[in-house]
Each structure stands twice: as C-alpha cells, then as structure tokens.
Amino acid sequence: MVGLGALGLPIAVNLRRAGYQLHVHTRSRSAESAPELMNAEGLSVIRKSTPAKAVEGCEALLLCVSDDTAVQTVLWGDNGAGQCLKQGSVVIDCSTIAPATAKAMAERLAERGVYYIDAPVTGGTEGAKAGTLTVLCGGLESTLQHVSPLLESIGGSIHHFGPVGSGQKVKAVNQVLVAGSYVAVAEAMALGQHLHLPMEQVVKALQNGAAGSWALQHRSEAMLNDHYPLGFKLNLHHKDLEIALGAAKEQQLELPITRMVFEQESELMKEGLGDADVSALRRYLPGPT
C-alpha cells in the first residue's frame, strides 16, 4: 500500500487486521511506524523506502494518495512502482483523480500486463476506521471479482459502474453532493446561532427528519464549536470540485452551487484553512454577536 494519510492509514490498519501481508510506503515515512499498524504479536507491517520496493513480490498495489500528480509519481516517477509490478497483478487506486488520468494509468499498466481499477472511496475518516467505506469502482468485472475480498476488508459496500474512469465520475457526483450538504449545514448553523437557539437541541431534533444528512450528523458539532479537526482536508475537496466542474464543463452544464462552494473554499484556503476539515466552510460566514 502506498499512501498513509487520513484515509490511507486506517485502510492499511484494516488490511492488516484482515490478515494481508502488507508492504507500506508513504511520502512522509512517519506513518509507516504508526503503532496501530502492529498486530497482536507486536509485529508491524513491512516498511519500504520507495514505491518500487513496496511492490516487490506483491499481487496487488493499493494507492490512496492526494491527486493526479501523486498517482503519476507513485507509478511512473523516480523509483515508481509501475515498472516493478509483476504481470497479472492489480493496481487498486482509491485516490480521487480525473477520469482521464485513471484511463491513462490503466492503458499504460495494461502494456505491462497489469490490471487497474479506479476505486475512490467515500465515508470519511469515520468510515475508513470502521471499515465501512463505500467503494466506487471502474474497471473489468473479472478484475473486481478477483480483488473483492480485499475491498470488502476496507468497505461496507462495493459498487461497479462500468469501465475504468467510471468510479471517478461517480466520485465527482459524490463531491458535488458533499459541497451542497456541507454549505447548507454551515448556513443553517450560522442562522441558528444568530437566532440564539439551543443548537445542540436543534440538531438533535432535525437530524432524523427531512433535513437530516451525514454532514449534519457528523460535522455540525465542529461548526458550532468553530473547531475543525481533520476528517477530509478542505484543499483536497477543492481539488475534487475542480474535477467535477471540469466534467460539467465538458457537458456544457453549469453547477452554480458547486461553483459557489468552490469559490468559498478558495477564499478560505487563502486564509490558511486548506488543511482544516471541509466543515471549516462555516468560517466563511460571520459568527453570532
């Protein structure tokens, strides 16, 4: 596995718990020594110094990195894994990247007899830790069936949408929904606070009604406390919205709410909130007086 960030590390933990022999590499190297990667006998996963070394002897490479450039670097950069993957192995890419990049990676790997599945995930750090992520897949059905036991150890539901790139297209739809739901919760929390309502009680009353959402249930508390511990970085969601807006532009489709959230995130990133959770969208609105 390459990539041990907020999602990647708990994914790796669940792979180890499922009994997989795991080679790991991450850019910062520090997460490779995380205590939770040790098993009950105190034995840790096998740390590898480069992506190329990480795939030595492996049947599958799972990627969970930040963007298109990172995927390209891991596979084809200096000490990249692409040239070292053995014929018949599979790359499972849980990163969120452009569909065109996924297709390009698949085509290049196919020249070496290596299969590729784009498998972006959704469910936040909570889902990653619990092993209940939703996995959105594009690729050959036979390849997906081959790696389904591995995916079932990290995901609560696995969905196949068609050829390579399809999973990334569905993830773009997901991120548009995330944008709308988060900004709606941010505005609702702001209004309630300005009206001096008992907001914890308000959230409890509303979360199981027509206004309920994952964002309301899991991120309203952060917005009310004006404290944004990392679940999913705002700057990564901003990158994902750029992919979604690009896909919409190709279809000559305007997404005004998504565009508005994209611009709000741009402003918040200028204020140094790029590494905060997406729920920091609440900061775009003034606090109560």
**CB of 137 within 8 A of CB of 153?**
no
Q: How far is CA 279 from CA 47, 165, 200, 215, 219, in A?
A: 33, 28, 16, 8, 6
**CB of 188 within 8 A of CB of 213?**
no
| Active-site residue, 48 included | no
* Dist CA 4 CA 10 (whole Å): 8
Intra-chain end-to-end CA distance of the chain, in Å: 48
**CB of 279 within 8 A of CB of 219?**
yes
* Dist CA 151 CA 145 (whole Å): 10
Rg of the chain (C-alpha set): 20
* Dist CA 117 CA 93 (whole Å): 6
What count of Cα atoms within 13 Å lies in the side-chain half-sphere of residue 29? Answer: 3
User: Among the residues of 68-213, which ranges form H helices?
Assistant: 68-76, 99-110, 124-130, 141-152, 166-194, 199-206
Q: Which amino acid is present at 267? A: E
**Which of 146, 140, 134 has the alpha carbon at shortest distance from 162?**
140
133-137 and 121-122 beta bridge pairing: antiparallel
In the set 171, 204, 233, 249, the catalytic residue is 171
- Residues classed as catalytic: 171
